[in-house]
A and B are shown apart, each in its own frame.
Chain A
Amino acid sequence: MLLNYILRRILWAIPFFFAVSLIAFALISAPPGDYLTTFAATLAQSGDMVDQARLDALRERYGLDQPFLIKYWRWISGVIQGDFGISFEWQQPVSQLIGERMALSVTLALATLIFTWAVALPIGIYSAVRKYSVGDYVITAVGFIGLATPNFLVALVLMYIAVVHFGADVSGLFSPEYQDAPWSWAKLADLASHIWIPVIILGTSATASLVRIMRANLLDELHKPYVTTARAKGLSEFHLIMKYPVRLALNPFVSTIGWAFPQLISGAVITAFVLSLPTAGPMLLQALLAQDMYLAGAFILLLCCLSIVGMLVSDILLALIDPRIRYR
């Protein structure tokens, strides 16, 4: 039953992927003009004359004059073989350009997600079980502040404190000596020592909202009859809460993975700028501004894929923790 469900969900993801890629491609080709128009404009600004014949030749070479569906077809068939095309601006294959950045983005998002869960879950449970206690009020107050503060502001404040009071530079994900160094254990350790600041910054608002979600979910479950049944069996209060209501309250909690994951990546753009993180966000913005179609397309497509994967993971987890979902 479970296998059947997972298989069905995975199969469904395939047509979904194509639909999403079509939309992604439509989005990046939506602005008027193309890379060459922007290119010509930049050249003209610096005083260079642009040869129209050369532009037309380039346009033909890159296939920019083709109709939409043909352009899409060329692009998507390349993508399936792992070829995301060539970035106009960098004159390099897109996959080379974004590989490491995307990996860092995903690492950062995963770390943030784990941080968020690890903090939000126990705090949410505490907050619900000790409803209207001093602890609950403090958590609620801090939570609302966390929710209301934009990430980049937290980043600025933290950077200010770190520089002024501790004399440390907290921007970036690596120390200068490891910036361009090849991957090694030392570089990984360096990453680990730098990553926690952006993790905290990016995780604050998500943690705050998850605490609220967990608290509300658990409050709904705490007074259900099955809790009384378990209590009447003689189960201790701690075991009881962890085994029954928390298990059920996790249900909506798990479904947040689906949207939390892509949101962490795309929502981190401003913070990534502020902290000058070498992640995907800043490059995506630049690619969009320059109408660097293939580069931007690859980013958007990967973000969409992450959403699909996030949804898939959360659906499968849901089916694992709640047997009722496995049946239609």
Chain B
Amino acid sequence: MEKAHMKASTNDETVLEVKNLSTAFATRAGSFRAVDDVSIELKAGKTLCVVGESGSGKSVMSRSILQIVDPPGRVIDGQILLHRHHTARGGATEETIDLAQLKPKSAAIRTIRGRDIAMIFQEPMSSLSPVHRIGDQIGEAIRLHEHVSKREARDRAVELLRKVEIPNPERTIDSYPFEYSGGMRQRAMIAMALACNPSILIADEPTTALDVTIQAEILALIRSLQESSDMAVLFITHDMGVVAEIADEIAVMRYGKVVERGDVYSIFETPQHPYTQRLLSSVRELDRPSERRIAMRASREIGAPCLVAQGVRKEFGSAHGFLGLKYRGFMAVDDVDLELRAGENLGVVGESGSGKTTLGRCLQRVHNVTSGKILYTDRHGATTDLAPLNDGELREPWRDIRTVFQDPFGSLNPRMTVGQIIAEPLVMNRLAKGNELKERIAELLDLVGLPSSAMERYPHAFSGGQRQRISIARAIAPNPRVIIADEATSALDVSIRTQILDLLLDIQERLDLSFILISHDIAVIRYFCDRIAVMYRGRIVETGETETVCKAPEHPYTRSLLSAVPVADPRRRGMTERFRYHEGQEEHLNS
């Protein structure tokens, strides 16, 4: 892995200059400036990272450059100067185009899009058309800008797919996006962006939706492509670890403005703006155990196991199909043993598809389990096996084991008031009604740090972090004992992430709860959890004290997972040796 200073810089010339750019959205309350007087510069062969939290306008800014902001958004002021004579495509004569002057639907800007400046997006599944073949979508980009035959475009598409390391490109070129994995889709997306050898690549959170191990591979791919083609990269991200890994220069955005600009070392080591300082400290805080939790454990012992899984298996989709065809199921959770002790925080970490969410749902017995036992010890000390119970018998345990979901937007009914949402578990279990119910809701809202006036309002009036607080209030409403938080902080900004985790710790202290935190983010688990279980392909490969596992991982998969996590320190770039883990021969024999 090369370091930043080793990067070949044949020319250091500015290829794109954004000067005083403003993009506004017309709303009923007047015009709202999502991008406000932003100036940045892109240099050939260099990477500029634009960092900011959600709503900072970084995405709109990047789309403004290509004039593809969705209406009612519109570039209202400023210049976007493309210095074509500085790019490989330009000639010797000076040629500067102001993209801000071009009309969004004009042919002039269309010839720039995809040819001089290409773009990749965050969500590789929804950013590719689900009903067109991969090869068709890449070939289209080539044929739009160059007069080549279908045959030739296809050959070039195969070549591009090979370049981004898609296996068997001759065959997989005819696949549809849904037949690709997340990482492959993002590679295909990159291949599409590179179709016409652009001089500038805009990458809008290209790795956010991917697992860390795949993120590391995609970042390495972008870096190597940049080195071979001297492309300028504008990289939009909210992840300081990723920034530290790839940036040459950084622009920090907040509320539509660039608050700080500088090279990667000066920003990380001597941040000037208080916002940058706060952003960096919240990232660094997350990467070690919460002091609050350590203090709490000293005063209160962790008790006996209260939720124990023994040999739990969950198989999906095994069935006898039409004409006697047998469909072999998919083993989502495979022979898992796990125990949660009273007053403990247990972290379950794994990549997407590792079965961690399914495991969470099995533990709560929302899913039926194929085999195994789930032993739950209630507050009176009686232990029952939840596995064979029916819905009626699960009423009690369901009151005690509750969930907080990942998506703060999808998990609250938009047509119910916050009061109704929180009241639901209380009403369902006939725990309170009338005035008593109202008081209880106010108390719960207070507990999660929201004013009791929130009761009358609808979820859309709240931000992501506030909605997650509402979800937590709903979860703790019937006085539960175990809370399963499934990626509860993943959709939130870093600064809010710690707030929510601290809130959970606070509630734990007051209400004597045990948590299972399911996450793909090791930093979050390290902060919040006492013990950690690492999941890989439905199985738990390693369990132990969080710090022990993080510092001295035993299983090769855990090692590879930890080595892929980007460290928020540009000096340590490329220092951690990356492991790739593929399930070994002997493990194949077992399965």
Which residue numbers of A lie inside 8 Å of B, CB to CB? 8, 11-12, 223-226, 228-237, 243-244, 247-248, 321-324
B131 in the interface, Cβ–Cβ < 8 Å?
yes
- Pair A228/B129 contact, Cβ less than 8 Å: no
In the complex, the chain B residue whose C-beta lies closest to that of A323 is: B176
Cα(A322)–Cα(B127), bound, Å: 17
CB–CB A324/B178 < 8 A: yes
User: How near does chain B come to A217, taking the closest CB pair, in angstroms?
Assistant: 14
Q: Which residues of chain B (117-158) have a CB below 8 Å from chain A?
A: 118-119, 121-123, 126-132, 140-141, 144-145
- Asked if A231 and B128 sit within 8 Å, CB to CB, the answer is no
Find B127's partner among A229, A237, A243 (CB 8 Å cutoff).
Answer: A229
- B128 & A324 in contact (Cβ 8 Å cutoff): no
**Distance from B455 Cβ to chain A, minimum over Cβ atoms (Å):** 32
Q: Which residues of B contact A248 (CB under 8 A)?
A: 129-131
Do residues B178 and A228 form an inter-chain contact, with CB atoms below 8 A?
Answer: no
B192 beta carbon closer than 8 Å to chain A: yes
Closest 6 CB pairs of A and B: A234-B113, A234-B114, A233-B114, A232-B119, A225-B127, A234-B110
How far is B129's CA from A248's CA once the two chains are assembled, in angstroms?
A: 9
- Residues in B neighbouring A322, C-beta threshold 8 A: 130-131
How many chain B residues touch A (Cβ–Cβ < 8 Å)?
34
12 A-B pairs with CB atoms under 8 Å apart are A225-B121, A228-B68, A229-B192, A233-B192, A234-B111, A235-B144, A236-B110, A237-B105, A248-B129, A321-B131, A323-B176, A324-B176
The 8 Å CB contact of A229, one of B70, B121, B131, is B121
Q: Whose C-beta in chain A lies nearest to the C-beta of B115?
A: A234
Q: Describe A's contact surface by its main secondary structure.
A: helix
B residues in contact with A235, CB < 8 Å = 110, 140, 144
Task: List the A side residues contacting B111 at CB < 8 Å.
Answer: 234
Residues of A within 8 Å of B105, CB to CB, are 236-237
Whether the Cβ atoms of B115 and A232 lie closer than 8 Å is no
Tell whether, in the assembled complex, residue A232 and residue B110 are in contact, meaning their CB atoms are under 8 Å apart: no
Q: Is B309 an interface residue (CB 8 A)?
A: no
Are B127 and A228 interface neighbours, CB within 8 A? Answer: yes
Give the A-binding residues of B (Cβ under 8 A): 63, 66, 68, 70, 105, 107, 110-115, 118-119, 121-123, 126-132, 140-141, 144-145, 176, 178, 189, 192, 322-323
Contact A323 B114 (CB under 8 A): no
Chain A residue nearest in CB terms to B177: A226
CB contacts (< 8 Å) of A244 on chain B: these are: 129, 132
Residues of A within 8 A of B119 (CB): 229, 232
| A234 to B141 alpha-carbon distance, docked (Å) | 8
| A52 CA / B127 CA spacing, docked (Å) | 78
Besides A229-B121, A235-B110, A323-B130, 7 other A-B contacts (C-beta < 8 A): A8-B322, A226-B126, A229-B128, A233-B114, A233-B140, A233-B192, A324-B130
- Which A residues are in CB contact (< 8 Å) with B128? 226, 229
B145 contact set on A, CB distance < 8 A: 234
User: A residues within 8 A CB of B130?
Assistant: 226, 248, 322-324
Residues of A within 8 A of B118 (CB): 232-233
- Chain B: minimal CB distance from A223 (Å): 6
CA distance A324 to B125 in the complex (A): 13
Of listed A11, A225, A233, A248, residue having the most chain B CB within 10 A: A233
Q: Which residues of the partner chain B approach A237 to less than 8 Å between Cβ atoms?
A: 105
List of B residues within 8 angstroms of A11 by Cβ: 323
Q: Which residues of B contact A223 (CB under 8 A)?
A: 70
Whether A232 lies near B114 (C-beta < 8 A) is: yes
The residues of A that contact B70 with a CB separation of less than 8 Å are 223, 228
Residues in A whose Cβ lies below 8 Å from that of B63 = 228
Would A225 and B126 count as touching, CB distance under 8 A?
yes
The answer to whether B126 touches A232, judged by C-beta atoms less than 8 angstroms apart, is no
Closest approach, in angstroms, between the C-beta of B310 and any C-beta of chain A?
Answer: 33
Cα-based distance from A240 to B193 in the complex (angstroms): 17
Name the one of A231, A234, A323 contacting B112, with C-beta atoms under 8 angstroms.
A234
Residues of A near B322 (CB, < 8 A) are 8, 12
CA A196 – CA B553 in complex, angstroms?
Answer: 77
Please pick, from B107, B126, B192, the residue contacting A224 in the complex, using a CB distance under 8 A.
B126
Closest B residue, CB atoms, query A325: B131
Cα A248 to Cα B131 in complex, Å, equals 7
Q: Report the separation of the CA atoms of residues A139 and B178 in the bound assembly, to the nearest whole angstrom.
A: 37
Task: Evaluate whether A233 and B144 lie within 8 angstroms (CB atoms) in the complex, with A225-B121, A321-B131 already known.
Answer: yes
Q: Which of B68, B122, B178 is close to A232, meaning CB atoms less than 8 Å apart? A: B68
